[in-house]
Structure 1
Amino acid sequence: MRTTPSGERALRTPRAAGLAGVVFALLFAAAIVLIRIGIPEGVEAATAAGRTDSARRNAVHTALALVPFAGIFFLWFTGVVRSHLGEAEDRFLATVFLGSGLVFVATMFGAAAAAAAVLDIVHTPGSTAGLRTWDFGSHFAYTLMTGYAMRMAAVFICSLSVLGHRRGVLPRWLTLLGFLATLVLLFVSSNVPWAELAFPAWSLVLSGYILVVTVRPRPSVTAPT
């Protein structure tokens, strides 16, 4: 607890909540890896083996089971970051930051739903859906993830980096790392496979920094006589 100037007691974010970003980064990275393995892009995705391999189907099912929990922990992670920024936020950037985070979660869920629909339709016993359905569904899922969700993640990182720099709560190296991740997600993720891992990597680094700063004991201040 801390006391506000008006004498009221304000709640402090628990230190354990800082782990939300770490859990989100690990879950989201695992989901990306499993989806990349289970639904490959390119020529391999068009082969019958890519559509009937049970190991790949299991990998995608596991990834889809992780996505909802990754979204939940991302919301907690957003709350932790806002608490770390403090009360004096820039309203414009704070709105962009929060809005892009919410759109990212919605788009990520949409990509997961598209991938689940592909598996349910193509692998249903007696289904006549074939290569065209698989190709459409896989492209739709990847377009949502790499074309839209990652660009919202780039806006999330960029707005947070600018906010952290203005407030002085993020070091220069972490701000520069955020701008680099923004450029990767904006211009590279839709063309280069695995580039979307830049987002969970950045989230992991930021969460680690917040945890270190939160746990670090604050120096005591002696009142003047």
Structure 2
Amino acid sequence: MEQHGQQVLETPRAAGLAGVVFALLLAAAIVLVRLGIPEGAAAAGTPGFTDSAQRKALRTALTLVPFAGIFFLWFVGAVRAHVGAVEDKFLATVFLGSGLVYTATMFGSAAAAAAVLSVGHPTGTAPQLPTWDFGRHLAYTLMAYATRMAAVFVCSMSVIGRRLGALPRWLSALGFLTALTLLFVASSVRWAELVFPAWSLVLSVYIILARGRAGTRTAEHP
């Protein structure tokens, strides 16, 4: 029985480490995708992938995305374990649903980027301009949708954490600020989507530290 209780305490803390890994993988993937597939005036009317560095950056990003999605699901589990039972089924459904839709949309964006890469063969040749523009816009449009879902995920988590007292005020306020940035700023400011992995990293570290303190108190007062 004691071993079972120990597992209940340790599993969320271990899953919290998955949130750290997810944040680092997602940030790296976003940076590599933006370097591999330029956006805006720099890419308009100019098919890419004639540079081998662009191909390598995008291939690396596409390798990281599936692992980022896997660790994100573990991160969602860690957050749910930290928060505990949520009586408000509406918020709980929005939180879980937005996380799942975000994962699916992120995979879709990666698939679109992979399609852009596949039409650039052989190495050193550029895809046709219509194909390049279509794939590039599709990849970034799906990324924009994923960013909105990330905003819903962050906002619902911040509301739940604030209502249940599972998160401190500063972390809830940081979550609301992150959600607003993802909703209204990320679409017009490049690299703004990096605030989501940054928030995930901060939340993961907080959960790890909180579970560590809880485990210490339990050991001192069984």
Q: Please confirm whether the aligned pair reaches a TM-score higher than 0.5, indicating the same fold.
A: yes
Shifted more, 115-124 versus 39-48: the winner is 39-48
Partner in structure 2 of residue 181 of structure 1: 178
Pick aligned residue for 2:26 from 25, 28, 52? 28
- Unpaired segments of 5 or more residues in structure 2? none
Partner in structure 2 of residue 149 of structure 1: 146
**Per-residue deviation, residues 143-178 of structure 1 (Å, max 9, x unmatched):** 1102x1000000000000000001101000000000
Higher relative contact order (CA 8 A, sep 6+): 2
Over 3 Å counting, the alpha-carbon distance change for 1:128 and 1:25 in structure 2 is closer
For residues 127 and 119 of structure 2, what CA distance do their matches in structure 1 show? 7
* 1:1-225 aligned within 5 A: 12=8, 14=11, 15-46=13-44, 48=46, 50-124=48-122, 129-146=127-144, 148-216=145-213, 217-218=216-217, 220=220
For residues 28 and 136 of structure 2, what CA distance do their matches in structure 1 show? 18
- Whether contact under 8 Å (1:114, 1:140) holds in the other structure is yes
Shifted more, 190-199 versus 85-94: the winner is 85-94
Over 3 Å counting, the alpha-carbon distance change for 1:2 and 1:200 in structure 2 is farther
SS of structure 2 residue aligned to 1:51: coil
Deviation at 1:87, TM superposition (A): 2.2
For residues 106 and 74 of structure 2, what CA distance do their matches in structure 1 show? 16
- Whether contact under 8 Å (1:161, 1:175) holds in the other structure is yes
**Per-residue deviation, residues 120-159 of structure 1 (Å, max 9, x unmatched):** 013357x99411111111111001102x100000000000
For residues 128 and 14 of structure 2, what CA distance do their matches in structure 1 show? 47
For residues 27 and 81 of structure 1, what CA distance do their matches in structure 2 show? 18
**Per-residue deviation, residues 57-96 of structure 1 (Å, max 9, x unmatched):** 1000000000000000000000000000112442110110
For residues 57 and 157 of structure 1, what CA distance do their matches in structure 2 show? 32
- Unpaired segments of 5 or more residues in structure 1? none
- Whether contact under 8 Å (1:38, 1:59) holds in the other structure is yes
For residues 47 and 108 of structure 2, what CA distance do their matches in structure 1 show? 26
Percent of aligned positions with the same letter in both sequences?
66
Structure 2 length-normalised TM: 0.90
- Whether contact under 8 Å (1:122, 1:133) holds in the other structure is no
Task: In structure 2, give the amino acid aligned to 1:29.
Answer: A
For residues 116 and 155 of structure 2, what CA distance do their matches in structure 1 show? 33
- Whether contact under 8 Å (2:186, 2:192) holds in the other structure is yes
Deviation at 1:48, TM superposition (A): 4.8
For residues 194 and 29 of structure 1, what CA distance do their matches in structure 2 show? 10
Task: In structure 2, give the amino acid aligned to 1:107.
Answer: T
For residues 213 and 2 of structure 1, what CA distance do their matches in structure 2 show? 21
- Whether contact under 8 Å (1:44, 1:50) holds in the other structure is no
